Amino acid sequence: MSNALWFLLGLILGLLVAFAIGWFLWRRRMKEAQAEVERLAALLREKEAAEVQAVPPAAGPDNLELIEGIGPKISRLLQEAGITTFTQLAATDVSRLEHILREANLAMVDPRTWPEQARLAAEGRWDALKALQDELKGGSRV
């Protein structure tokens, strides 16, 4: 064989080896990234469970549908997540509410005013709650 052909075969072999090494390194990085995502997801689940346990439930569940922006479907979602009372909803971070909604493919719903509304309801400040809700549209400030 000529030197040019040997050179070409060596070049092709070198490229294949480089590709294989790159592919294996990429797979290892992806596995490490997946492990980190799973670790963070477990920490988030632990934090959410601790938040729900931190606020003791009242004698029974509250009607969360009294909160502007929460209907029957979202009320069920919150109850499944362990949020059954106004006090628990008031103590829940907006980021956790957004996470619950994203998991149910309801990311377009805005829960930013729910804890504030729930706090007023938990305190029995119905007039203040009504005044706040008059300023809202679908649970969001307009």
Domain ranges of the chain: 1-54, 64-141
**Tell me, what's the pLDDT at 136?**
84
Residue in the block written with tokens 């300023």: 135
Give dist(CA 78, CA 98) in Å, integer.
Answer: 11
Q: Which residue has the higher pLDDT, 124 or 141?
A: 124
Band the pLDDT of 44: cuts 50, 70, 90.
confident
**Tell me, what's the pLDDT at 71?**
93
Q: Which residue has the higher pLDDT, 54 or 91?
A: 91
- Give the torsion through C-alpha atoms of 40, 45, 46, 52, to 10 deg: 150
User: Contact 91/126 with Cβ under 8 angstroms?
Assistant: no
**Rounded percentage of the chain residues whose pLDDT exceeds 70:** 92
pLDDT of 50 above 90: no
pLDDT of 99 above 60: yes
Residues sharing a CB contact under 8 Å with residue 62, sequence separation 6 or more, in sequence order: 84, 85, 86, 121, 122
Angle at 128 between CA 122 and CA 132, to 5 degrees: 105
**Tell me, what's the pLDDT at 55?**
55
Give dist(CA 113, CA 137) in Å, integer.
Answer: 11
